[in-house]
C-alpha cells in the first residue's frame, strides 16, 4: 500500500487525496478540451454564415438586372416564360425608357454664361433617358457643349447635335429663325447609332428642317429613330401637313426600322392651329398616334391650356410605347414645359407573355 507523498507546496497528501485530485484535474482538462472544441466549431459555423454570400457559384445564367433602380411599367403578370433572342429570362424585370422634348427658349451665349440657368437645365435633362432640345440659338455653336458639360457634372450624357437649321430656303431664312437641335442621352441606358440626318427640305416645306437620329437601348436592344423640329408658328398648318413626308423620308433613311417618334415644339394648338383644322390633315388620321392630347398645357403660363409641344408616333404605331405621358412645368429656364413619354427598353419582338 502506498504511503503519503509530498505535494508541490510541501504538504503531505494521502493516496486517496492524490487520486481525488487527479480525477478533478482530469475532469478539468476534459472540460477545457470540450470548451475549446466547442469554441472552434462555433467560430467555423459563424465564418461559414458570413462567407456564404461570397462563395463562387457555377451558373450558366447571368445575374438578373436589379429592378430597384429602374422600375418597370409592365404589370407583374407580364413576366416572360422563356429565354428569347434579346437575352431576357424568366423572372427578369422589364425596363422602360423615358423620352422627352423641351424648347429651351432662345438658349444662346448669354444663357450659357448664366450658371444658374445651365444648372437648372442640366438637372432637368438628367431626369430623362433622352431629351430632344429645340431653340438653341448660338452662331458660335458653343452653348450646346456648355450645357452638356453641365449635365456631365450630374451624370454622363452623350449628345447628337444638328447643324444650324433655317438657312436652306431663302424665302424663309433669317437670323431670327435659325437654330440648332440636340439630343442629350444617358449613356448608361442609351447608345447613339449615328450622327443624325437633316430632312432635305427641297421644296421649302419647313422654315427649320427636321433632324433625325438613331438610337438603341444599351441593355435590351430596342432600336428607334427620334425626329425633332420646331415649326414656324406663322405656318403651322402647312408645316404640320408636311410631317407625313418627314416620316416617309425617315423610313427611307433608316430601312428596317419600325419605331419612328417625332417630338418637338409644333405650335400645334390654340390660335396657331385649331383642333378642327388639324383634324383635316393626313397626319391626324390613319395610324399616326398623337401622344399629347389637344388642350394639354405645355406652356408655363398658368392661364395656358395649349398643347404647343407634341409627341407623334409614326404610321403603324409602336409596340414599345407604354401608354403614359407626362409634363413638367416647374421650370424657370424656359416658357415651355418638358413633355415626355415612356417606352419599353426591350424590342417588342423580344417581349412576350
The per-residue pLDDT for range 192-237, each reduced to its tens digit, is: 999 999 999 999 999 999 999 999 999 999 999 999 999 999 999 9
Terminal-to-terminal C-alpha distance of the chain? 93
Say what the pLDDT of residue 302 is.
82
Give the rounded percent of residues in the chain with a pLDDT score beyond 90. Answer: 65
Closest to 208 measured CA to CA, from 175, 169, 250, 165:
165
Q: Give the contacts of 202 (CB within 8 A, at least 6 positions apart).
A: none
User: SS3 of 70, please?
Assistant: coil
257 Rama sector, left if φ>0, alpha if ψ -120 to 50, beta otherwise: beta
Say what the pLDDT of residue 96 is.
95
304 burial (CB, 10 Å; 0-12 / 13-18 / 19+) is middle
Say what the pLDDT of residue 286 is.
82
- Cα distances (Å, whole numbers) of residue 153 to 119, 146, 149, 150: 9, 11, 7, 5
* Cα angle 288-203-209, degrees, rounded to a multiple of 5: 60
CATH of domain 96-350: 3.60.10.10
Q: Are 278 and 322 in contact (CB under 8 A)?
A: no
pLDDT greater at residue 168 or residue 140: 140
Q: What is the distance between the alpha carbons of residues 177 and 164, in angstroms, rounded to a whole number?
A: 10
Say what the pLDDT of residue 208 is.
95
**Continuous segment of H or E residues that includes residue 131:** strand 130-136
DSSP letter, residue 95? P
Q: How many CB atoms lie within 10 A of CB 199?
A: 22
Average pLDDT, integer, range 9-16: 40
pTM of the model: 0.75
Q: What is the distance between the alpha carbons of residues 126 and 150, in angstroms, rounded to a whole number?
A: 10
pLDDT, one tens digit per residue, over 121-163 is: 999 999 999 999 999 999 999 999 999 999 999 999 999 999 9
Closest to 266 measured CA to CA, from 134, 131, 125, 124:
134
pLDDT of 336 strictly over 90: yes
Phi, psi of 272 (to 5 degrees): -80, -35
Q: What is the distance between the alpha carbons of residues 195 and 157, in angstroms, rounded to a whole number?
A: 15
pLDDT of 36 strictly over 60: no
Pairing of strands 197-198, 5-6: unpaired
For the chain, domain boundaries? 6-53, 96-350
Q: Give the contacts of 288 (CB within 8 A, at least 6 positions apart).
A: 244, 247, 312, 313, 314, 315
pLDDT, one tens digit per residue, over 240-257 is: 999 999 999 999 999 999
Residue in the structure block whose three cell numbers are 444617358: 186
pLDDT level of residue 174 (50, 70, 90 thresholds): low
54 Rama sector, left if φ>0, alpha if ψ -120 to 50, beta otherwise: alpha
Say what the pLDDT of residue 105 is.
97
* Cα angle 86-92-97, degrees, rounded to a multiple of 5: 70
pLDDT, one tens digit per residue, over 53-90 is: 333 332 222 333 444 444 444 433 333 333 344 344 44
Amino acid at each position: 500500500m502506498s504511503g503519503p507523498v509530498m505535494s508541490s507546496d510541501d504538504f503531505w497528501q494521502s493516496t486517496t487525496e492524490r487520486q481525488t485530485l487527479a480525477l478533478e484535474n482530469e475532469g478539468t482538462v476534459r472540460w477545457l478540451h470540450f470548451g475549446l472544441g466547442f469554441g472552434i466549431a462555433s467560430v467555423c459555423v459563424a465564418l461559414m454564415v458570413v462567407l456564404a454570400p461570397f462563395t463562387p457559384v457555377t451558373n450558366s445564367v447571368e445575374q438578373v438586372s436589379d429592378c430597384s433602380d429602374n422600375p418597370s411599367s409592365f404589370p407583374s403578370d407580364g413576366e416572360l416564360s422563356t429565354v428569347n433572342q434579346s437575352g431576357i429570362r424568366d423572372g427578369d424585370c422589364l425596363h422602360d425608357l423615358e423620352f422627352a422634348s423641351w424648347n429651351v427658349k432662345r438658349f444662346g451665349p448669354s444663357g450659357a454664361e448664366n450658371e444658374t440657368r445651365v444648372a437648372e437645365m442640366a438637372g432637368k435633362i438628367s431626369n430623362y433617358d433622352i431629351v430632344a432640345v429645340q431653340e438653341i440659338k448660338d452662331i458660335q455653336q458653343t452653348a450646346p457643349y456648355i450645357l452638356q458639360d453641365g449635365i456631365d457634372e450630374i451624370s454622363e450624357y452623350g449628345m447628337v447635335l444638328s447643324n444650324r437649321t433655317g438657312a436652306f430656303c431663302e424665302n424663309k431664312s433669317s437670323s431670327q429663325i435659325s437654330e440648332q437641335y440636340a439630343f442629350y442621352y444617358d449613356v448608361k441606358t442609351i447608345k447613339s447609332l449615328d450622327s443624325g440626318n437633316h430632312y432635305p427640305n427641297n421644296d421649302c416645306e419647313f422654315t427649320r428642317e427636321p433632324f433625325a437620329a438613331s438610337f438603341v437601348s444599351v441593355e435590351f436592344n430596342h432600336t428607334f429613330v427620334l425626329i425633332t423640329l420646331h415649326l414656324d408658328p406663322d405656318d403651322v398648318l402647312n408645316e404640320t401637313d408636311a410631317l407625313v413626308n418627314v416620316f416617309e423620308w425617315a423610313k427611307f433613311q433608316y430601312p428596317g426600322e419600325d419605331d419612328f417618334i417625332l417630338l418637338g415644339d409644333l405650335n400645334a394648338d390654340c390660335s396657331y392651329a385649331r383642333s378642327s383644322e388639324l383634324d383635316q390633315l393626313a397626319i391626324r388620321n390613319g395610324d399616326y398616334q398623337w401622344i399629347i392630347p389637344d388642350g394639354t398645357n405645355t406652356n408655363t403660363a398658368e392661364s395656358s391650356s395649349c398643347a404647343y409641344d407634341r409627341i407623334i408616333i409614326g404610321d403603324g404605331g409602336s409596340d414599345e410605347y407604354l401608354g403614359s405621358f407626362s409634363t413638367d412645368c416647374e421650370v424657370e429656364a424656359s416658357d415651355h414645359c418638358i413633355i415626355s413619354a415612356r417606352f419599353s427598353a426591350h424590342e417588342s419582338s423580344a417581349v412576350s407573355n
